[in-house]
Amino acid sequence: MLNKDKKAGGSKVLERFPPTANENEIIADQVNPAIRLYGRRFYKDQTPIEYLTEFLLVFTSPKEYPMDEKELGSYKFFYNPEAKGGYGYWPDDRVALKLFSFFSGSKLETRHVAHKHAYLEALEQLKANMTGSSEEDKEEAVRLIQSLFYGFVGVAKNRTWVTYSFLPVTTGLLSRELNWLHSEAKKEDGLNTWNDIVEANGVPTPYRFFAHDRHNFMARGGELLYLQLVNLFSLPDDSDIQYLLDDSFYTHIPKDISLLGTQLEERLRTMLENSSQELGQLIEWAEGSLSDFKLNKTPKISNLGWVPSISRTEALLFAVEMNHICASNRGVLEKLDLLRILCSMQVLRSLCFQARRVVDSELNTIGFCGNYAWIVAESNAEVDEPIRKMAQNSFLKIDDMLYRAMRSPVLHPGEFNPEGTEESKFLKNADENVYKHFRKFAKEMGLVIPKKGKGPRFTLHQELLKFLVAALVAPGERIRLTDFYKRAFAHYGIALGGEQLATALNWCEQEESHGSYAISSNTEWVEEALQQGGFLVELSDAVSMIKNPG
């Protein structure tokens, strides 16, 4: 299959969505090859759950200000080039909810005295909003509610309470990143109350010590994933992805892109709003009781960046998979876990897709529009087994492709000296967030093993196979096992056996020597894992079906 993106040349690869008129931003982006190629931005220290949380935060937040009663753009893949206030979103900070839920379990060194006083006041305010109980019962109720909210912690690590994040099980737990500037606050005397830290000389200054624009944890990767889908759904012309819609390997993809977008918006909204109504009501009550601790009465914009306009291809695959997961009858926590994996896989896929577009010295891959391949082997395959060596060589090939992408002439027009001071500095940053990012994420997911040591190679454990079934097979659908292998390759370049493995070997090694082995390779370990997960139905010795019970 020839990816039609390749015909466009380097200039097409670097076109942006949305196009920007900010010349200063364009100049600033050009010095970092990773941002120039992938957009703003993928960052290796953003955790998988924070990719998902940030994605859902942008999706649910209003996209225009002042907001009317309908909160324009909420729960939408929304783009208005003439949006009031600029193209961005207006997220809630949920600082009062975080203070109540996380302060008592947070990092001691950054618990400012003003935080402690505010926390104690918050407990009293919650008790004051309870009726018909004794003081002891109210205290017990507050402890129970606090334990409930803390049970939904998504990321804590060694952070202060305001930088914790919730699991995104409902809209009320989605919040923007805030950073507490502890060193600055320590330098100033007389900060003993909440008002002291959010006001200066009687004037509200809510972000004096609570920084809202650092992007240290929610580092814009979720925004980038959101913009990929906005790019897909907001353009009326689908000519650039028509080749995919017409391809025989992608007949399972819906032809009506607009309808796909509408379905996905509604299913994401239903998942977040209807599945946890009681929790949402409790959050609303708690925040209403703690309104004195709301940082800012007027929402603060978070500007959206940009993505490569050519990324509609991988965005379409992303959308189809997300729609399958959201359409299932699984519980909200299970859906969120699958979506967390999906966001991580989309990051890895996006890194490879765009790198392949600027590294054009490789072969194309029949059956996969990305024109690269991941060969997987059983996790406990012996050192001398051919398939293990192939999986290892496959990883090294991808690693090399991502490394070379940052040094492509497309990203460095004119004279390029990789050893020069400026180039070296920006290449180091680019490498951290491209090929090292891929390594880190893939190992954390168990897609690449071992986490440390020699011989890194691609594999698929039970949870990743479960994810692939949920993402690639519609709920209630049954397909042949061989067709499942084709879809895994068509979406991710994952070669499990047969013709796909032969194609992958040809791409990885640019030779035909292993073709006969590939076609006859043993895939029993994949079938056993699928059977253990309840996804494989054997109709006969010759015919096996994959079903998505979701």
CA triplet 165, 447, 55: central angle to 5 degrees? 30
Summarised one tens digit per residue, pLDDT across range 306-360 is 999 999 999 999 999 999 999 999 999 999 999 999 999 999 999 999 999 999 8
User: Torsions phi, psi of 199, nearest 5?
Assistant: -135, 155
Handedness of CA 59, 61, 65, 67 (dihedral sign): positive
Rg, Å, the chain Cα set:
25
Summarised one tens digit per residue, pLDDT across range 139-149 is 999 999 999 99
At residue 48 the predicted structure's pLDDT band, cuts being 50, 70 and 90, is very high
Buried/exposed code over 390-410 (b: 16+ C-beta within 10 A; e: otherwise): bbbebbebbbebbbebbbbeb
Write down the pLDDT at residue 412.
84
Dist. CA 102–CA 97, nearest whole Å: 8
Write down the pLDDT at residue 540.
74
Dist. CA 45–CA 465, nearest whole Å: 25
User: Beta 448-449 vs 374-375: how paired, if at all?
Assistant: unpaired
- 56 vs 513, more confident: 56
Mean pLDDT (whole number) for 269-289: 91
CA triplet 531, 534, 538: central angle to 5 degrees? 55
Percentage with pLDDT > 90 across the chain? 74
Residue whose C-alpha is closest to residue 370's, from 391, 348, 341: 348
Q: Is residue 6 predicted with pLDDT exceeding 50?
A: no
Q: What pTM did the predictor assign?
A: 0.94
Residue 490 has which token pair? 């068509």
The amino acid at residue 456 is: P
Residue in this structure with the two tokens 């957009």, named with its chain if needed: 39
Summarised one tens digit per residue, pLDDT across range 101-115 is 999 988 888 899 999
- Say if residues 499 and 515 touch (Cβ distance below 8 Å): no
- Say if residues 167 and 153 touch (Cβ distance below 8 Å): yes
CB burial of residue 428 (10 Å; 0-12, 13-18, 19+): exposed
Mean pLDDT (whole number) for 266-281: 89
Buried/exposed code over 177-188 (b: 16+ C-beta within 10 A; e: otherwise): bbbbbbeebeee
User: Torsions phi, psi of 312, nearest 5?
Assistant: -65, -30
- Say if residues 17 and 305 touch (Cβ distance below 8 Å): no
Write down the pLDDT at residue 153.
95
Dist. CA 361–CA 179, nearest whole Å: 44
- Three-class SS state of 229: helix
Summarised one tens digit per residue, pLDDT across range 212-255 is 989 999 999 999 999 999 999 998 888 999 999 999 999 999 99
Write down the pLDDT at residue 80.
84
Handedness of CA 83, 86, 87, 89 (dihedral sign): negative
What is the Cα 447 distance to its own chain's centre?
Answer: 16
